[in-house]
Structure 1
């Protein structure tokens, strides 16, 4: 890097650290002019653009970063962040995962990936696009399910229909292309296990100028009747119903005996096995219950049983594993159930099992002693300005002891040093949630807000901290720095511009709409000294200070 490029880069870094992002962009642009092949310069400018919420420019610089240096993990972090805020969540996930292939323990990449996946899950749960409901439906043995329904079985003789199903199996997102076809809508109803009679509407006919001759009606084709139940099937069902009655009466031994007789009478009746498994669960005979469900699946598949019954057997296996706290096995069983029959109930059970599995893994990992060791390593990295390494160690410490508030505060300080203020604020909030009377965290929260130019929030954080530690010089200095920034900002604006900016804050609007505060402000206009008595009330004082800080009220 040339001397001129290095000087401009250092100036950009200094401006970025001071929260002057527009100035930082100018300096990094100058540096790029001297050294256009340096990936770090584009990465730094991408960060500055992202801080200005100019995510399109941030993405362009991130793309240039990875183009110049494709084996540098941080470039993918920049790209992932920009894609996230531009709304391309899947692209962001791909970018973060590319970076993690290069640096699997990079905490910024791990945090970014987690945030995007959370956003994607929230989006999918709240989405109104029907295609998203159907994207996982074409897994499993789709043709067997369709063949078992008389209506969709007939469609399987039509080559264009079979081709559409194959296309959707290969690419579920292509469903949207075929939703106008009534046959596809009917098929979705079968695969979801719900009726979709509206999909049976006849194709639209062209307008006729004269009524066409009435075609001769053909006699309706008779659907093949279901063969009458054999004596064995009748006896099996009779035993099963008696078993159900015994189960409801909590006569579990009698119920097991009746379900056993039901299966012996008809060894294709897999419901007898899954029902017997339910009784065995009540008796805490979990291995035997799973064995019955597995046998039901084996027998069912050998005899082309209804896929819903096979799904039920997998779901019951999942329930047993959940009850015995084998959550990973439960997740696997529920997923298999969903490939057979995708129901909201099983999907809900899957999500609960996944959450329990995650919580169990976290709890099993807790070790306060190892947490302290990781914290000390993190402190050492921080003192030596190795901030990414300090974040990694603090993260390990948090996993080992998630209730230690100081760990979140320390990691927030590291994130702030790297200009990752949103992550710093998240850690501050987590620290406050655990220990709201910890003064230091309010100083760190105020600093993060300051660099984000959220001056009102910074003052609020410092104020809360000063109430806990009135003599804290760091927060005193922080408050002074924020007030100076506010004055610099206001000096370049007209009173009307200041007022318009303040009115973007919902809290300021609410204060001004408060009848009591309105009256106080009117009294103040008539007699400026009248405010002194009102300020003795802590709540009014706090609201008044917010109006002063926002520039709505001018003092002096």
Structure 2
């Protein structure tokens, strides 16, 4: 029996700490009179108040240090446990996750710890313990779909196929491209002799991962059980083509030849199977995920984990090592793609594109690499090339909902709202739980003047991903356009609360709203200034729109000298402001009159 496909994704969420600024006590000045040893009653009160303030600041400083140290201790404990897990030291990993869980972790970190420990327990065959830990991780983070996958695998391994099917169905409800889940579910249907369902799932697994020899092998065996001998031979031929040393495929094909009354061909396949596995067929220790190149695959698996956790340099280094090993075309292509993802995470789009090119050169049917290269071209504003890659990815895999969603952005950027809406509708049809598509469709619907439909999509995105700042960002902009300013500000506040490192475009949009909102109760110039400043820093002070926002923020804060300075700088340095230039000049005139700009100003 072929191994159940298993992988592990451990994402450790590190909560950023806030530094505590130490404030020196003020020197005696106009508010404090010192004359010899005599103190006025006012002076004594002032000194007492100063002492209290010092105690408060001291307490806050101590509290900040305590939280920083505790946060660092938690992160180190989780990192140590994760390292043991990635090195397959499962007993050590279990003990280290035990220790981490004693540190009173916040929910997100605790969920990762339970998930990591469950993975180690699964590898050790402690399925009941693993199921308990996976369930706790799900309780803490119900949106972590990969945890359902892990628990389904544990249920399947202990023979509880009903619960395994329920968990796999939950995964596939959110991600129709989870090839390993289709494969595992297909094995359950084989056990139950539900051959038609098994064939359907193995076919889906092949669609998602067309280089998996085991998918073709097991589909061929299921087709043979249904009596479709021609289909079985075609599938088994494909398995052998992908892996000429796969003894099980020769054995299964030999059985088909005997049923077709072709004894000579059957005998040849039986001899070949014995050649590759003398005395017995190879055990299922070679998983369909890893194939024969286990060491290289382990490096790539670790690289994917690092890339997903945001450790991009580590991911790139692991891919470098893996790519020095002789890999099958499928693994070689994925190695280049994963390294490209690492460079993309660092914002190095040129290196990312080079790796995506190599991934596609090695395996032109790698639709994930095509999608990722399309994303890279989009970031470089090469929309035509980006759309071409999305088109090809969709041709290879028409159920690739992410590609439809991303291609819609290109159409939106080109002003083709109808085609953007069509792509987003298809993305949501393929995966109704894909929050990003709902958020983006809300933007298109708003431009089409369908405000109620737009708000419904924005609300859906927030409901699907309540911790995702992007969902609140899109809804905040929509509510602002609907003149629902207090609700818009509440959404923007949630964006800032939930964002570890907000992008410049997000900072700029929130800063502009706080500086120029027509509703006085929603404006906050003092809060707008640091947000706009950070956005300018992130773009090296080279973006005219962002500098324009900074000037508006200073004007709202009442610092018109700075407002005039930055508005003048915008107009002086950036001559390509285009249609925005006249509006920028009008704002400069307002600031020179010591008037702030409002969005409803003529």
Scaled to the shorter chain, the TM-score interval is under 0.3
* CA radius of gyration, larger in: 1
Q: TM-score if structure 1 supplies the norm length?
A: 0.28
